Structure 1
Amino acid sequence: MQKRRIGQTDLAVSALCLGTMTWGEQNDEAEAFAQMDRAKAAGINFVDTAEMYPVPPRQETYTATERIIGAYFRNRGTRNEWVLATKAAGPGNGIDYIRNGHPKFDRRQLQEAVEGSLRRLGTDYIDLYQLHWPERSTNFFGRLGYQHSGESFTPLEDTLEALDGLVRAGKIRHIGLSNETPWGLATYLRLAETRGWPRVASIQNPYNLLNRTFEIGLAEMAIREQCGLLAYSPLAFGMLTGKYDKGARPEGARISLFSRFKRYSQPQAEAACARYVALAREHGLSPAQMALAFVTRQPFVTSNIIGATSLEQLDENLASIDVELSETLLAAIEAIHTDQPNPAP
């Protein structure tokens, strides 16, 4: 398994990262343990979670994923063999059970969030601590156009200073952003340089064949600023595996179970997805492996976050690391993208 360095840190992580957002909802503890064992055997040393997980978020399952990972570390005794990433939730509708319904990235709340994650994960340090989404109102989670609201939010310098305190205390080693914009990333980098605070090491945003918007403003920054992408949803919630082809809704699949997830199943996205699935099959490839290989090969990607609800799915995803995409196939992918760019941003 190829290893890549996160930003300017000393952390070398596998080119594939194990995603965990189904654990505690679609996967129970035993299944999660089996996934971690299988991933580790394949050379993965990087696992990503969040205090909010599993998804979809519910008060009844809040923090279940972190607790499962903590149980795994206690059971296997392998904490020091993993690079562990987690995230602090920002404000939003439907999460009124997180920090009294008003999650913010100020000193007090970040301290509370970190302490909670450390306790659940059964560790005394987090390798990469990420802000799950901006506290301010901006364009993320499928919003392309920016509409200025002028609302108040914790100043970014206050947030970064608070994270600096947590790094100095040894509770977190490095920091990352998620669902962030070019302005946000640039501001955090400038503050780190001028104030001597921790430098953002990574940015975790969506990136897949149906949503390549990261390339527009953030790809150059990721490369030039050594702040690589941790790509999430590389299979567009499973759409790019082909299992939802022609409107199919397999029993137990994520989009079948949770109707709220419409981001990748709109008509324009389904049409483009069908073309990518057909293209993979024409070239004798698994649609999932073609989609994953496309993401992993990008020069601005540090690690590709793969998730699965079964070991069979996980094995297929893991095998994508050995898939080489020909120039002919890459040109055909670009032709589809040119014809139907970013149908599911």
Structure 2
Amino acid sequence: MPVPSVMLGSSGVFVSMCCLGTMTWGDQNTESDAHAQLDYYVFKSGIQNPFVDTAELYPVPPKAETVGRTEVYIGNWLEKNPGARQKIFLASKVSGRSHRGWIVANREDPPGKEAHTRLSRDQILAACDASLRRLKTDYLDLYQLHWPERNTPTFGALDYQRSKDNDDDVSFDESVGAIGELIKAGKVKHWGISNENAVGVVKYLEAAKRLGVPPPVSIQNDFALVDRRFEQDGTAEACSPQSSGVKNGVSLLAYGALAGGTLSGKYLEGSKGDVSKSRHKLYPEFQSRYHSQGTMDAAADYIQAAAKHGLSGVDLAYGWAATREYMGSVIIGATTMVQLKANVEAFEKEVPKELLEEVERINLKHERPYFRGSERLGRNMPPPEKKEL
């Protein structure tokens, strides 16, 4: 079956269920690699309504010497492919609150003065202009707030700690007001949020309604077979048409659906794949939740279940995510063309009902596996033992 397209929130725009992620371009991938992936995904894969997602922060892990490089690669590709800009739905992100002053400095060319990143009006406007310059385009189809301004659990953290609240948070109204300005100026068509929870969804929806700004069309969150917090902690409900008051609701853009590659099986004992240049090996402390012992154990069970139906772990991970009723698009990532093609092909396969039922049984056995033997218990833990298939 062809890769399906889905309407993204209240945008009225259809995008591919398979979104091309770009966060390794400029670190694990060269510019030539990036352009080859874009050529395949946009022109050769047969995907309708191609959707490309990036961010001012990329590539990851974030570093001063590489920040913004991913957008530059995409901009160079757009420049040498006239007409491609109108063919793709292009998304980027502005950084939330952080001490990474070099992100702010990189918004100027040549780099300017460093300052903490914030979701203030001035910073959102400046960040958007910088992304447009690097991407060599005059508009973004989707502009996302990459992570929250306020103190709240993000990136694998579990617990909210009131003692860490700030007394100088930029207001939701100021952030949304800046987005409204970008929409009126024609620089942004639609907007979304990222790494958010039910509180953030409600607050942003309320601010948009107060200010007369269109509501967010999407929320980009970590979501996978091994991390279903989005549908369990009230966030999916807050995004629903009924709760949000928004026609078609706020769509999920799922990242991490392969748990950084763990659900492909390549890190499991008996795998024949070369992982020497993989993210978990190069940067074991980055997103270590993706290769916690609990995640490894769960991955082995999911892959065994998929194999009984003639599917790979990749097929199941992406195919299952695509069945969720609130899904707008599943973001894929690849460092090789072989991986990219396998990822795209996964969306062309159907996950049988019997396997979906087995997924629920495995989920009960491995509830929140990310957090067993993960960075939540200590960032300097030894690597997990390999789990046999």
User: TM class, shorter-chain normalised?
Assistant: over 0.9
| Residues 116, 247 of structure 1: alpha-carbon distance in 2 compared, 3 angstrom cutoff | farther
Residue correspondence of structure 1 range 236-275 to structure 2 within 5 A = 236-246=259-269, 250-261=275-286, 262-275=288-301
> Percent identity, aligned pairs only?
40
Question: Which of 96, 116, 119 matches 1:105?
Answer: 119
Q: Secondary structure at the match of 1:85?
A: strand
Moved more, 100-109 or 17-26: 100-109
Deviation at 1:198, TM superposition (A): 2.5
> Is 1:169 aligned to residue 185 of structure 2?
yes
Match of 1:88, as an amino acid?
V
Deviation at 1:194, TM superposition (A): 2.7
Question: Which of 115, 120, 130 matches 2:129?
Answer: 115
Deviation at 1:102, TM superposition (A): 0.5
Deviation at 1:137, TM superposition (A): 1.0
Flag structure 1 segments of 5+ consecutive residues without an equivalent: none
TM-score (ref. length: structure 2): 0.86
Moved more, 205-214 or 269-278: 269-278
Q: Identify the residue that residue 223 of structure 1 maps to in structure 2.
A: 240
Deviation at 1:220, TM superposition (A): 2.1
Q: Identify the residue that residue 84 of structure 1 maps to in structure 2.
A: 90
Distance in 1 (alpha carbons) for counterparts of 2:39 and 2:275: 27
Moved more, 140-149 or 117-126: 140-149
Question: Which of 235, 239, 247 matches 2:258?
Answer: 235
Question: Which of 323, 345, 365 matches 1:319?
Answer: 345
Q: Identify the residue that residue 80 of structure 2 maps to in structure 1.
A: 75
Distance in 2 (alpha carbons) for counterparts of 1:328 and 1:98: 47
Q: Identify the residue that residue 186 of structure 1 maps to in structure 2.
A: 202
Q: Identify the residue that residue 53 of structure 1 maps to in structure 2.
A: 58
Residue correspondence of structure 1 range 35-50 to structure 2 within 5 A = 35-40=37-42, 41-42=44-45, 43=47, 45-50=50-55
Contact kept in structure 2, 1:160 and 1:198, CA below 8 Å? no
Distance in 1 (alpha carbons) for counterparts of 2:315 and 2:96: 33
Contact kept in structure 2, 1:11 and 1:83, CA below 8 Å? no
Distance in 2 (alpha carbons) for counterparts of 1:195 and 1:91: 23
Distance in 1 (alpha carbons) for counterparts of 2:240 and 2:343: 25
Contact kept in structure 2, 1:269 and 1:343, CA below 8 Å? yes
Match of 2:54, as an amino acid?
T
Match of 1:53, as an amino acid?
Y
Contact kept in structure 2, 1:289 and 1:323, CA below 8 Å? yes
Moved more, 140-149 or 82-91: 140-149
Deviation at 1:227, TM superposition (A): 0.4
Question: Which of 296, 310, 314 matches 2:322?
Answer: 296
Match of 1:220, as an amino acid?
E
Moved more, 271-280 or 201-210: 271-280
Flag structure 2 segments of 5+ consecutive residues without an equivalent: 105-113, 372-389
Distance in 1 (alpha carbons) for counterparts of 2:337 and 2:240: 33
Question: Which of 311, 334, 337 matches 1:308?
Answer: 334
Output one character per residue of 1:135-159: Cα deviation in whole Å (capped at 9) or x when no partner. Answer: 1110111112211233121000111
Aligned residues: 344
Deviation at 1:236, TM superposition (A): 0.4
> Is 1:15 aligned to residue 17 of structure 2?
yes
Moved more, 165-174 or 216-225: 216-225
TM-score (ref. length: structure 1): 0.96
Contact kept in structure 2, 1:204 and 1:230, CA below 8 Å? yes
Deviation at 1:247, TM superposition (A): 9.1
Q: Identify the residue that residue 380 of structure 2 maps to in structure 1.
A: none
Q: Secondary structure at the match of 2:320?
A: helix
Match of 1:324, as an amino acid?
E
Question: Which of 4, 25, 28 matches 1:26?
Answer: 28
Q: Identify the residue that residue 6 of structure 1 maps to in structure 2.
A: 8
RMSD value over aligned CA atoms? 1.4
Q: Secondary structure at the match of 1:264?
A: helix
Q: Identify the residue that residue 201 of structure 1 maps to in structure 2.
A: 217
Deviation at 1:56, TM superposition (A): 0.7
